Amino acid sequence: MAHALGIAVWGIVLDQHQKVLLCHRTDQDLWNLPGGGLEAGETPWEGCIREVKEETGFDVVIEKVTGLYFKPETDEMGMAFRCQITGGAMRLNDEADQIKYFAFKDFPENTNKRQVERIKDALREPQTVHLKIQTKTN
């Protein structure tokens, strides 16, 4: 019997200097884009808005889809969205113990490599919706 495909969503939030908002996870020593799995009955864009709010405290609107990423090892589809902050305030929480903006060249060494690729795609070719398979080695 076939199983359901997992769907994850991530928000790419940039400041006025094109720095990217990253969250340091509380469950492992990694920096990530704010995001996570969809809940039942939720659209990907609604899930992204909720996840960014939960992990950063910011209210956002979706500007565009920047990429669709399939992870064959986990049978998971990920969707990256460019987001614009409309309100709220940065706050730490049980998922993120640090939240900071970073220039792409200054990302911490322990930034999730798949997330780095997604951010690079969104920054270098912002008009393209990237379609990629991301394995553990790339």
Q: What are the tens digits of pLDDT across the range 28-52?
A: 999 999 999 999 999 999 999 999 9
Q: Which residues contact 34 (CB under 8 A, 6 or more apart)?
A: 10, 11, 13, 21, 23, 51, 52, 54, 55, 56, 96
Report how far apart, in Å, the C-alpha atoms of 82 and of each of 33, 93, 94, 100 are.
11, 22, 24, 17
Domain containing 102 equals 6-133
The pLDDT tens digits for 87-97 are 999 999 999 99
The answer to whether residue 111 is domain-embedded is: yes
pLDDT given for residue 101 in this prediction = 98
Q: Is residue 1 part of a domain?
A: no
Residues of the chain with pLDDT under 70: 1-4, 137-138
Report the CATH number at residue 27: 3.90.79.10
Number of separate domains in the chain: 1
Q: Is residue 44 part of a domain?
A: yes
| Residue 29, in any domain of the structure | yes
Q: Is the pTM of this model over 0.85?
A: yes
Let me know if residue 80 belongs to a domain. Answer: yes
